[in-house]
Amino acid sequence: MRLGSGIRIGPGLGLAGWAAAVSLILGGGPQAAAAERPPSARQFQQRTAEFLATQRLAGSPAPRGRGGIGVDTPDPAVDAPLLGDDLAVALYGAPQLRATAIGKRSPAGAARKLRRQARAYATVSGRPAALSLDLIGVVATASAGSDRSYSARQDPDVIRTYLKAARSVGARLTLDIQPGRSRLIGELRALREWIALPDVDVGVDPEWNVGRKGVPGRDEGTIGYRQLNRASRWLERLAEAEDVPAKALIVHQFRAGSISGRRRIKQRDRATVLLNFDGIGSRRAKKAGYKNLAINADLLDGFSLFYDRDLKLMKPRSVLRLRPEVDYAMYQ
């Protein structure tokens, strides 16, 4: 999740190079494009250990509760779909990725930041906003790792910690998947016990879906409608089997090539699909990119904002004026 919209850059440039090029065209300058590179598998492990050690010093990461994954059933206040009549507001990142909105803060601090950001929208619209902490549950890595997948799953204690933080402010948790070389459906199955909870949703980052020979950080990934339709069908069947609220499937895109066959993505009753625009740059360019990619009337639309990399961060009032209407605002 990074860049601008609809601009083709020559092959071989790599993510860092074409990120800088796109950002310059959009008006953000080279500093705006300084996206965090994916960590190596070893770096991810080290940062995970450091984070969990910090949490232990501050107290237990999260109560173990009952069941195989050690969490309790959420309060009724958060037992409702993320995507409905009201706007949803999300905060994105991971503690191992320190340039992200979540990575810059403690879990409790991220939850408080999310609550404040949602209140800013409620003040303008006069309606409450749904809240989501979007934790990267599968992180793309620059090295292969022991399973050669170029991705790493979050430690269960990390997920428990952020689920607890989300619930503390009446938010849901989204587990974002950066597949690397893994298959999306395989990662969904690996996270099934978490996704089966009433207040956990799913995100997908096509940028990091690099296929059998790609390397995150070097090659730009993409995803096809068949994979997304298979994922939404799996989510719908899970929601039906577990008798939980409809799941959200947030799919990120920053240009037309991020998703192939976008018009053929299916909307489902118990798996609500939303395409989220992830452009960085000037307000004018972001608005144009968002409008150009909102082409499937059956799906919901989302819009990303970058605290440190956007050129003049758009205020909630401006986001709410976008057309088509925004259903989901994510802060990174």
Does 62 score more than 80 pLDDT? no
In the predicted structure, residue 215 carries a pLDDT above the cut 70: yes
Q: Spell out the SS3 assignment of 153-171.
A: ECCHHHHHHHHHHHHHCCC
* Model pLDDT for residues 144-187, shown as the tens digit of each residue: 999 999 999 999 999 999 999 999 999 999 999 999 999 999 99
Range with the poorest average pLDDT among 69-83, 170-184, 217-231, 315-329: 69-83
Q: Is the peptide bond before 324 cis (omega within 30 degrees of 0)?
A: yes
Closest by CA position to 253, among listed 330, 157, 168 = 330
Residue 90 pairs with which residues in a beta bridge? Answer: 132, 330
At residue 16, does pLDDT exceed 90? no
Q: Walk me through the domains of the chain, giving residue ranges and CATH numbers.
A: 14-331 (3.20.20)
The yes-or-no verdict on residue 59 having pLDDT over 80 is: no
Q: What is the pLDDT of residue 174?
A: 98
From CA 65, how far away is CA 69, in angstroms rounded?
8
Q: Report angle CA 71, 76, 82 to the nearest 5 degrees.
A: 90
**pLDDT value, residue 21:** 35
pLDDT at 85: 82
* Segment 108-116 mean pLDDT: 97
Using a pLDDT cut of 90, give the percent of the chain over it.
75
Report, as an integer, the average pLDDT of 77-100.
88
pLDDT of residue 254: 87
114 and 89 Cβ atoms separated by less than 8 Å = yes
Say if residues 315 and 34 touch (Cβ distance below 8 Å).
no
Average pLDDT (39-50) is: 96
* Average pLDDT over all residues of the chain: 86
Decide the pairing of beta strands 328-331 and 300-305. Answer: parallel
Q: Compute the distance between CA of residue 161 and CA of residue 109 in angstroms, rounded to an integer.
A: 12
